Amino acid sequence: MSKFKKNQTIACLGDSITCNNFSGYPEYLQKYMDKEFSHLNLTFLNWGLNEETLTGPSKVDSLPTRPFLFDRLDNLLNGNTKPDIIIFCYGMYCGLFGEPSEEIFCAYEDNLRYFLDRMKKEQIKVILLTPPPLALDSTKATKGLGIGSYHKNYDLLHPYLYYDEEVIQEFMCTILFTTHPVIWDRIDIHTPLINNKELCYGKDPVHPNIKGHEVIASEIIKNFV
């Protein structure tokens, strides 16, 4: 029996991993619920935006114009369709692929709480997803990447070698241990993805492949169906 209610709208909010050219886990969720629970008439919206962050501008960011969630949040919420639930997934781009930074960790935590406070005002429930991993230890994923702790000009193609262990994991802890009345659930997608990295990633260690999106969707389904 689904925990979702009839005619609810669920927006999936995140960066390019959520967006995935509008063919990722939000679309898998829509197909699954249409097939198995068509009577609920649920609508899943893909609100992903490439390279968007929760942390915002930073002096260590090589791309100061990188999209920032709060620059578009008002427009999303004031649009034609207001969601009942938001599935929230940020972290991959929030650390700028660099070394651990207290500035960034604090921005992530503070802005997450600000987002949750805003959702309380809007009366929108939130499902928090942990960030997915940076799967550098996948043998297919490391080809062609200039990785290494010696590299100071970090970016998507030159990530800090321990980005997943020292940065993504910090964001993951924030997601799993933050408390707020609007949080409906917290779901760990990092662990199943990294445990199945050879199936869930190809040459791109950032963006899960089709199988990876199926895994993300299945983790959400397990919690709500």
Share of the chain above pLDDT 70, in %: 89
Is residue 1 in a domain?
no
Give the structural domain span for 188: 9-224
Name 166's Cβ contacts closer than 8 Å, sequence gap at least 6.
99, 100, 160
Residue 76 belongs to some domain of the structure: yes
> Could you tell me if residue 148 is inside a domain?
yes
C-alpha atoms less than 13 angstroms from C-alpha of 80 in its C-beta half-sphere = 1
* pLDDT at residue 88 greater than cutoff 80: yes
Give the integer Cα–Cα distance in Å for 168 and 131. Answer: 7
Whether 2 is in a domain gets the answer: no
pTM above 0.85?
Answer: yes
189 part of a folded domain: yes
| Confidence check: pLDDT of 148 > 60 | no
Domain assignment of residue 187, yes or no: yes
3 within domain boundaries: no
Average pLDDT, the chain: 91
> The domain spanning residue 181 has which CATH number?
3.40.50.1110
The answer to whether residues 133 and 188 touch, using CB atoms and an 8 Å cutoff, is no
Count of the separate structural domains present in the chain: 1
Task: Note whether residue 4 is domain-resident.
Answer: no
pLDDT at 66: 80
